[in-house]
Amino acid sequence: MRIKARAKINWTLDITGRRADGYHLMDMLMQPVTLSDEITLAQADEITLTTGGLPLLPADEGHLALKAARALQRHTGYAGGAAIHVHKTIPVGAGMGGGSADAAAVLAGLNRLWHTGLSQSELEALGLTLGADVPFCLRGGLTRTTGIGEKMEDLPCGRNWPLVVIQPCEGLSTREVFTAYHEQQDCLRPDTHAAMAALAAGNGVMLPAALVNVMQPVSEARREGIRQAIAALKKTGALTALMTGSGSAVFGVFDDETSADTAYAQMKQHWERTFRCETCKESMVFENED
């Protein structure tokens, strides 16, 4: 079984509060993009993990794909195992949910391979125990996600948008970015309803004023490359450009494929980790279920 596990972008990201246990309450518009890792699953006696692609992540117990397989096995009592291979293309430490996408694909894929019969809602609840973005990566679509990632509202989307994604610098510590966020005096916040309306209508004119990531200023302060990449994308014709998640990846939104292709060719000369993709509906694609 082969699965394309797709990355995500944050069209908006707002922090609305904090629970007593320290978890942040979020309000985000998220959507999958066609940039993806490839997950291969096969029946086996034991659960094993191998990895490929660049950069390589340790195939150890800390890997979210392995955690997902073990969580499903414990939850269902399944007696067998699986050979899991993760080929990485989604940049690591980018705010694009690559690890969460891998975990989601393993949960959904093994649920089919093992015939364990969990419903979508059951998979999402199990996914939340692995990470806040995993339920979204199981669901896909344009979604308004609130709470700690468990509340999702499916939204209409008027079109798919051509994107150029750049990871201009090394990843950031999410904890460090959250700490710095709380040290701010004030920050600009997204107009979530205006962003929802713009995305539903496929209206590029309405997008720039509505899209805000409240974590972007503190991440830019720690990685100048983020600010530089956003400015470069806008200069090459992006309707708008924004950081996704807590960084360090940024994305430029283009009105047509030709302008996105032109910008990609220019950006690739300056930043090695530059990717051409587009928004989409499905968070994962099952390519082979033999």
Annotated catalytic residue: which of 14, 27, 37, 133? Answer: 133
Mean pLDDT, rounded, for 3-9: 98
The pLDDT of residue 72 is 98
The pLDDT of residue 56 is 77
Positions of CATH 3.30.70.890 in the chain:
162-278
Count CB atoms within 10 A of the CB of residue 213: 25
Q: Would you list the DSSP string of 54-93?
A: SS----STT-HHHHHHHHHHHHHT---EEEEEEEE-SPTT
pLDDT band at 185 (very low <50, low <70, confident <90, very high): low
Topology adopted by domain 2-155: Ribosomal Protein S5; domain 2 (3.30.230)
Low-confidence winner among 55-64, 152-161, 191-200, 248-257 (lowest mean pLDDT) = 55-64
8 is annotated as an active-site residue = yes
Q: At residue 174, does pLDDT exceed 90? A: no
> 3-class SS at 8?
strand
The proportion of the chain whose per-residue pLDDT surpasses 70, expressed as a percent, equals 99
Which residues fall within 8 angstroms of residue 62, CB to CB, at 6 or more apart? none
The pLDDT of residue 288 is 78
What tokens were used for 45?
């006696």
67 is annotated as an active-site residue = no
The pLDDT of residue 184 is 73
Positions of CATH 3.30.230.10 in the chain:
2-155
**Largest Cα span, the chain:** 56
CATH homologous superfamily of domain 162-278?
GHMP kinase, C-terminal domain (3.30.70.890)
Annotated catalytic residue: which of 4, 8, 67, 88? Answer: 8
Long-range CB contacts for residues 89-92, cutoff 8 Å, separation at least 24: 89/35, 89/36, 89/37, 89/38, 89/53, 90/5, 90/7, 90/35, 90/36, 90/37, 91/167, 91/249, 91/273, 91/275, 92/55, 92/57, 92/171
- pLDDT tens by residue, 32-65: 999 999 999 999 999 999 999 977 788 899 999 9
Q: At residue 234, does pLDDT exceed 90? A: yes
Count CB atoms within 10 A of the CB of residue 143: 23
